[in-house]
Amino acid sequence: MAAETVLEAQGLTKRFGGVAAVNGMSLSVGKGEILGLIGPNGAGKTTMFDLLAGSVGVSAGTIRLMGRDITGEPAHKRLAGGMARTFQIPRPFPELTLLENMLIARQAQTGERLWANFTAPRRIAAEEAAAKEKALGLLDLVALRRLADEPARVLSGGQRKLLELARVMMADPKVILLDEPAAGVNPALLEVLIARIQEINASGVTFVLIEHNIDMVSRLCSRIVVMAQGALLFQGRPDEVAREPRVIEAYLGGSGA
Ligand SMILES: Nc1ncnc2c1ncn2[C@@H]1O[C@H](COP(=O)(O)OP(=O)(O)OP(=O)(O)O)[C@@H](O)[C@H]1O
Ligand SMILES: [Mg+2]
User: Relative to the alpha carbon of 21, which ligand is closest?
Assistant: 1
Question: Which pLDDT belongs to residue 255?
Answer: 47
Residue 21 CA to ligand 1 centre (angstroms): 6
Chain segment 33-49, per-residue pLDDT in tens = 999 999 999 999 999 99
Among protein residues, the one whose CA lies closest to atom 2 of ligand 1: 16
Report the nearest atom of ligand 1 relative to the CA of 227.
Answer: 21
What does each C-alpha distance from 31 to 9, 202, 205, 214 come to in angstroms? 15, 11, 8, 23
Handedness of CA 43, 83, 10, 71 (dihedral sign): negative
Residue 255 CA to ligand 1 centre (angstroms): 11
Among protein residues, the one whose CA lies closest to atom 17 of ligand 1: 46
Among protein residues, the one whose CA lies closest to atom 5 of ligand 1: 16
Residue 1 has pLDDT above 60, yes or no: no
Low-confidence winner among 27-31, 156-160, 227-231 (lowest mean pLDDT): 156-160
| Burial (CB count within 10 angstroms: exposed 0-12, middle 13-18, buried 19+), residue 172 | exposed
Chain segment 143-195, per-residue pLDDT in tens = 999 999 999 999 999 899 999 999 999 999 999 999 999 988 888 889 989 99
- Cβ contacts of residue 170 below 8 Å, gap of 6+? 102, 105, 106, 109, 131, 134, 135, 138
How many residues belong to the chain? 257
Concatenated DSSP letters of 61-81: EEEEETTEE-TT--HHHHHHT
Among protein residues, the one whose CA lies closest to atom 16 of ligand 1: 44
Residue 179 CA to ligand 2 centre (angstroms): 7
Any atom of ligand 1 within 6 Å of the Cβ of 213 = no
Task: Tell how far CA 222 is from the center of its chain.
Answer: 18
Higher-scoring residue by pLDDT: 110, 227: 227
Question: Which pLDDT belongs to residue 47?
Answer: 98
Query: Which chain residues have CB less than 5 Å from ligand 2, an ion?
Result: 45-46, 88
d(CA 37, CA 210): 5
User: Relative to the alpha carbon of 212, which ligand is closest?
Assistant: 1
d(CA 99, CA 144): 10
Residue 256 CA to ligand 1 centre (angstroms): 11
Domains of the chain are: 5-252 (3.40.50.300)
Question: Which pLDDT belongs to residue 257?
Answer: 44
Any atom of ligand 1 within 6 Å of the Cβ of 43 = yes
Looking at the chain, list the stretches that DSSP marks H as alpha helix, in order from N- to C-terminal side: 45-53, 75-80, 98-110, 114-119, 121-141, 157-169, 187-202, 214-220, 238-242, 245-252
Q: Tally Cβ neighbours within 10 Å of residue 248.
A: 12
Chain segment 109-125, per-residue pLDDT in tens = 454 556 666 677 777 78
Chain segment 83-98, per-residue pLDDT in tens = 999 999 989 999 999 9
User: Relative to the alpha carbon of 44, which ligand is closest?
Assistant: 1
Give percent of the chain with pLDDT exceeding 90.
79
